[in-house]
Amino acid sequence: MKRTASLVVLVVLAASVIAAAAGLISKAQAERDALKAVNGGSVIQAVLGTQGRLRIWSVDIAQPTHEYEVHVDAHAGAILKIIVQPGGTVNGRFLLTRPEAEHEAENAPGGTVLDASSKKKAPRRSGQST
């Protein structure tokens, strides 16, 4: 466990050093800029990538009711794009409201809502044992 944590720290530090050498903002700065752009939340992850000819930090942020993907210019720190998705996360798990979940199930290829209540059990299908 300590070895894995040490490796993660080294990778993050190496990415920050490489970014600084290339004239890029740090991961921590990109996260701060992204959090400010969406009025706070919890950073899920931040990944340095390329979009066309531009180097960007893609920062995923969770709030109780929404999840955001914020694209930050890795050279200037400017916010390039904010993608908003309904739902939020708890312990890293994406959450939908009940109507959103029903809508997603009904619109999925071959999707059907079997039971949208947390109190009811889904009906048994023939051949299933209890």
pTM for the predicted model, two decimal places: 0.55
Cα 58 to Cα 70: distance, rounded to the nearest angstrom: 6
Q: What percent of the chain has pLDDT over 70?
A: 58
31-86 pLDDT tens trace: 999 999 999 999 999 999 998 999 999 999 988 888 899 999 999 999 999 999 87
Residue ranges of domains in the chain, CATH in brackets: 2-107 (3.10.450.40)
Residue type, 35: L
The beta-strand segments (E) located in 1-130 are: 42-51, 54-62, 66-73, 79-86, 88-90, 93-95
- The pLDDT, as a whole number, for residue 35 is 95
Q: What percent of the chain has pLDDT over 90?
A: 41
Instruction: Determine the distance from the C-alpha atom of residue 4 to the mean position of all C-alpha atoms in its chain, rounded to a whole number.
Output: 22
